[in-house]
Amino acid sequence: MAAVFVSAALFGCAAASSAEQAKVSSGMLLADPGLYDGRTISFEGEIIGDIMKQGRYAWINLNDGRAAIGVFTAADNVKGLSAGGYKRRGDIVRVSGEFHKACPQHGGDLDIHADSVTVIIKSAVKEEVICPVEKRLAVLLAGVLCLLSILMLCKKLRKKR
Amino acid sequence: MILRPRTEDIAVIGYHLSKIILGIGLTMLLPLGCAVLSGERGPFLDFLVTMEIVFISGLLMKEVCRGAYESGKKRAPAYEQKISALDPNWMHGMITVALSWLAAMLFGAIPLWLSGHWISFLDACFESMSGFATTGLSLVRDLDHLSLTHNLWRHLTMFIGGQGIVVVALSFFVKGFSGAFRMYVGEARDERVLPNVINTARFIWGVSLTYLALGTISLGITAFLGGMGPMRAFFHGACLFMAAFDTGGFALQSQNMLYYHNYGIEIVTIVFMVLGAMNFRLHYHLWTGNRGELFRNIEMRVLFVCVLLTFVVTAIGLKHGGSPYSSDIAMLFRKGFYQLISGHTGTGFMTVYAEQIGKEWSDLALVGMICAMALGGAVSSTTGGIKMLRIGIIAQAFVQDIKKVIFPARAMVEQRFHHIKEVFLEDRTVRAALMVTLAYIILYGMGAIVGMLCGFGFLPSLFESTSASANVGLSCGITSSGMPAALKVVYMFQMWAGRLEFISVFTLAGFFLAVIKGKR
Amino acid sequence: MKEKSKLLNGILGIAWEISYAAALMLAAAAVCVVILLIKL
């Protein structure tokens, strides 16, 4: 009976928290961190840099275009995800969990302790864009540089004579 | 009477400037190599084009200046023709230094601008000056997707600028010449570690490269233990070391040090920041067995006291302002002390967001931070700001004046302090220290006024201005690519003047004055 | 022999420098404790 009651209460809490779960951006979080402190929020962004696994937990950093926010979650949640960098756009994920403006567990970091991580858009390779003008400029300048060094060499040789 | 500079003067300056420019071009081989190794084609092209531009302009300038000098010399009176060719005098040396920093900024900005991560060439110049002057204020957009090559270059500019562009040129590229010392001094290095400037420059690089190895290993291992892949961990380790030891403050990711969420990295970077704030002459004495110097040295003592005093102010400020950081030792250390030591050593690593400092930190905490940033580290180190030796000298002068009042009128009051050797306090020394201190305070104030003219509050303006002039790099949210262009230019000037400690900048100003108003 | 003592001096020098940084951090931690304990 007690078990049923507890689970019902937990379910109730979960339902309530998902109802009050606010979808926020990094701009909102940084503009007024106090407003969201301790509340369950949902946040979307691209995983950037590295997925840093430390034992049973992992750190990821999510960038939503304006700023990146650190997310602390169970290592199982980030299995198979990939992070973005120069050559790759990382997975865009939605996390939901408790936001801390100064997390007591992590030395005061502004972070989200996420319960769930869901992939919205899978990561993809980014094609490098190479400007054709720049390519031609490189060849042209190389020619000028060669010409210049040959001229200078000639001058030096003539001086020696 | 002011004499108008002759063509030969300009030719001598240009000749040495061109050599330094060629040296800067050679340092770009490193990012070029990185681009090849990491297979980044776009950045490879960016650096190739830049190197070509640097070499073409450097070579052309060298030829033109040498030609101008030689033709000028033929017309000069016979006694002048005997003076050894192309040796710079004091004015030449100072101006060459001031200009070579500007040249480094311009050429260093080209690859950044080509990457497309900076919205204008001005922004790229800001970034490049911020790097060379080891400031660390950044205008980059979407740093998280910047290539490894460009990131390496950003950190390399700090490694080059921290040791000194001229020091780099002297130790690696340029053969020794008798005017070398004049250029070395122009770079805010008024102390020679060893009697010979070239050996001094080499020693400075010896220290830096030794610590580069140690730092890369220790930071790499810490980052690896924190869950990063081995290659990335050591790449980050090397870059973070350059930013920490050269008290620069750039980081590879947009969150700066908060990205790592790693206690270990914070501790190790604190160690390297403090090492970077030490005088290279002190490094020399400690490394050659004179270890007692660490405790007797006036700078190390003053640094210890100043760090603790400013931290007390900042911590009380945080507590008064009801900051959550003041509820727990770990938080106060990792957020309060980390920001403070980062500011005091002129690094600019942050474990909080710039917006948080601007909005959540109380005025008292900001004042504590501003004081710490304004004070800076040791002279002849890689830090900016007023610097510890000057603070020590001024404090000693106060003590002496108080003693003069207390002691009988006929007593001789002599004041000594220990900096490598026992030094008697002379009025000349005090005057020099006070002049530079005053110049810094004016520079801090000037930037703050411009900041306020652009519509920012007093404390944030002063914070950001001090951060730029003392080559710190902490930000309370003003520095962004959207800020007014005038403010960007002012901050760039502050970084330049603050890094060179004014003398060479004043000489350059005097030179221009002489060109306009001088008599032949 | 001389080379060896030179190297040793260098290593000891580095150790000394690092211990200065460590001392600074310890002192700062002590300040943290004091600030947290006192009531303002």
ipTM of the complex: 0.95
Position B287 pLDDT exceeds 50:
yes
Task: Determine which of B274, B331, B339, B340 to mutate to test the interface with C (most C C-beta atoms within 10 Å).
Answer: B274
Q: Does B226 touch chain A (CB under 8 A)?
A: yes
Q: Are B107 and B25 in contact (CB under 8 A)?
A: yes
Is pLDDT of A17 > 80? no
Distance between CA atoms of B111 and B5, rounded to whole angstroms? 35
Spatial separation of the C-alpha atoms in residues B359 and B355, rounded to whole Å? 6
- CB distance B452 to B486 below 8 Å: no
Model confidence at B176, pLDDT cuts 50, 70, 90, reads: low
Please list, in sequence order, all residues whose beta carbon lies within 8 angstroms of the beta carbon of residue B480, skipping any fewer than 6 positions away: B139
Angle between helices C2-37 and B280-287 (to 10 degrees): 120
With 0-12 / 13-18 / 19 or more C-beta atoms within 10 angstroms meaning exposed / middle / buried, residue A72 is buried
Residue B199 in contact with residue B228, Cβ under 8 Å? no
CA distance B203 to C10: 13
Does the distance separating the beta carbons of C27 and B291 come in below 8 Å? Answer: no
- Once rounded to an integer, what is the mean pLDDT over residues B39-50? 96
CB < 8 Å to B344, chain C: none
Query: Cβ–Cβ of B275/C17 closer than 8 Å?
Result: yes
Q: What pLDDT is stored for residue B90 in this prediction? A: 83
Structure tokens at B490: 């002012």
* Cα(B470)–Cα(B370) distance, integer angstroms: 10
Sort out which chain C residues have CB atoms less than 8 A from B336's CB and list them. Answer: 32
B271 vs C: CB within 8 A: yes
Predicted confidence (pLDDT) at residue A15 exceeds the cutoff of 70: no
Mean pLDDT over B324-333 rounds to 92
Q: A101-105, B68-72, B157-161, B281-285 — which is least confidently predicted?
A: B68-72
Per-residue model confidence as pLDDT tens digits over B63-105: 999 888 888 777 766 655 555 556 778 888 889 999 999 999 9
CB pair distance less than 8 Å for A72 and B254: no
Q: Do B353 and A145 touch (CB under 8 A)?
A: no
CB–CB contact B258 A135 (8 Å): no
Res. B2 pLDDT band, cuts 50 70 90? confident
Check: CB of residue A73 under 8 Å from CB of residue A58: yes
Enumerate the β-bridge partners of residue A70: A61, A111
Answer whether A106's CB lies under 8 Å from A73's CB.
Answer: no
B326 to chain C: closest CA residue: C36
Would an 8 Å CB–CB cutoff place B287 in contact with chain C? Answer: yes
| Strand A109-121 versus strand A68-74 pairing type | parallel
| Residue C12 CB neighbours (<10 A) | 14
What integer is the mean pLDDT of C13-36?
95
Quote the percentage of chain B above a pLDDT of 70: 96
Distance from C-alpha of B363 to C-alpha of B7, rounded to nearest angstrom: 53
Q: Tell me, what's the pLDDT at B76?
A: 67
Give the number of other CB atoms < 10 A from CB of residue A15. Answer: 9
Give, for A10, the enclosing helix (H) or strand (E).
helix A2-20
Residue to mutate among C8, C33, C36, C38, with most B CBs inside 10 A, is C36
| Min Cα–Cα distance to chain B from A1, Å | 41
Alpha helices in B228-297 (DSSP H): 230-245, 263-276, 280-287, 293-296
Residue B281 C-alpha, separation from nearest chain C C-alpha, in angstroms: 13
- pLDDT exceeds cutoff 80 at B311: yes
What pLDDT does residue A14 have?
44
- Ranges of H-type helices in C1-40: 2-37
Touching chains A and C? (3+ Cβ pairs < 8 A) = no
Q: Would you say residue A2 has pLDDT above 60?
A: no
**Cβ burial, residue A20 (10 Å; 0-12/13-18/19+):** exposed
Instruction: State the DSSP string of A50-94.
Output: --EEETTEEEEEEE-SS-EEEEEEEGGGGTT---B-SSEE--EEE
Rounded mean pLDDT, B200-216:
92
Contact assignment for A102 to B261 by CB distance below 8 Å = no
CB distance C31–B294 less than 8 Å?
no
Quick one: pLDDT at residue C1?
66
- Average pLDDT along chain C: 91
Query: What are φ and ψ of residue A15, in 5° steps?
Result: -65, -45
Q: Give the closest residue to B339 by CA, choosing from B200, B476, B468, B214.
A: B476
Interface mutation target, options C11, C31, C33, C37, chain B, most CBs of B under 10 Å: C31
Q: What percent of chain B has pLDDT over 90?
A: 75
Query: Cα(B223)–Cα(B262) distance, rounded to whole angstroms?
Result: 8
Look-up: residue for tokens 């209460």?
A9
- C9, C23, C32: residue with CB nearest B315: C32
Q: Which residues of B touch C35 (CB under 8 A)?
A: 312, 315-316, 319, 326, 332
Q: Does B60 touch chain A (CB under 8 A)?
A: yes
Q: Which residues of C touch B214 (CB under 8 A)?
A: 14
List A118's β-bridge partners, or say none: A94
Cβ B232 vs Cβ B182: under 8 Å = no
Longest dimension (CA), chain B: 78
pLDDT at position B242: 96
User: What is the Cα–Cα distance from B454 to B415, expressed in whole angstroms?
Assistant: 46
- Both tokens assigned to B187: 């770079």
Residues of A in contact with B146 (CB under 8 A): 86
Supply the DSSP string of B90-120, one letter for each residue: HHHHHHHHHHHHHHHHHHHHHHHHHHT-SSS
- Cβ-contact B104, B161 below 8 angstroms: yes
Measure CB to CB from residue A109 to each of B42, B148, B258 and give the nearest one: B258
B178 vs B500, residue with greater confidence: B500
CB count in 10 Å sphere of residue A59? 26
Contacts of B180 (CB under 8 A, 6+ apart): B170, B174, B197, B198
Q: Is B115 on the interface with A (CB under 8 A)?
A: no
Look at C35 and B286 and tell me if their CB atoms are within 8 Å. Answer: no
pLDDT for B173 equals 66
- Is the pLDDT score of A4 beyond 60? no
Q: Give me B220's structure tokens.
A: 């790499």
Flag if B261 and A72 touch (Cβ within 8 Å).
yes
Q: What are the Cα distances from residue A101, in Å, to A33, A39, B232?
A: 6, 10, 29
Cβ atoms A52, B226 nearer than 8 A: yes
Give the residue carrying structure tokens 């704030």: B277
pLDDT digits (tens, 9 = 90+) for A104-156: 999 999 999 999 999 999 999 998 888 899 999 999 999 999 999 999 999 88
The answer to whether the CB of A51 falls within 8 A of the CB of A60 is yes
Q: In DSSP terms, which residues pair with B65 in a beta bridge?
A: none
B15 contacts B62 by C-beta, under 8 angstroms: yes
Q: Is the pLDDT of residue A16 over 50?
A: no
Query: Which two structure tokens, joined as six digits, stand for B273?
Result: 């920041």
Contact B128, B109 (CB under 8 A): yes
Inter-chain residue contact C24 with B304, CB threshold 8 Å: yes
pLDDT at B178 over 80: no
Comparing C-alpha atoms, which of B208, B420, B382, B372 is closest to residue C24?
A: B372
pLDDT above 80: residue B347: yes
Distance between CA atoms of B287 and C10, rounded to whole angstroms?
4
Pairing of strands A22-24, B416-419: unpaired
Instruction: In whole angstroms, give the CA distance from residue B270 to residue B341.
Output: 7
B vs C, Cβ pairs < 8 A, gives 80
Task: Give the pLDDT band (50/70/90) at residue C29.
Answer: very high
The span from the CA of B356 to the CA of A100, in Å, is 13
A42: β partners: A23, A96
User: For strand A92-103 and strand B416-419, is the pairing parallel, antiparallel, or unpaired?
Assistant: unpaired
Best of B208, B291, B299 to substitute, by most chain C Cβ atoms within 10 angstroms, is B291
The partner residue sitting opposite B56, judged by closest CB among A50, A52, A145, is A145
Give me the pLDDT at residue A89, please: 95
Alpha carbons A61 and A40: distance in angstroms, whole number: 18
Query: Given CA atoms B471, B477, B478, B480 in this order, what sign does their dihedral have?
Result: positive
How many other C-beta atoms are found inside a 10 Å radius of the C-beta of residue B437?
Answer: 18
Q: What is the largest CA-CA distance in chain C?
A: 59
Closest CB from B52, B114, B331 relative to A141: B52
Note whether B316 contacts C35, CB cutoff 8 Å.
yes
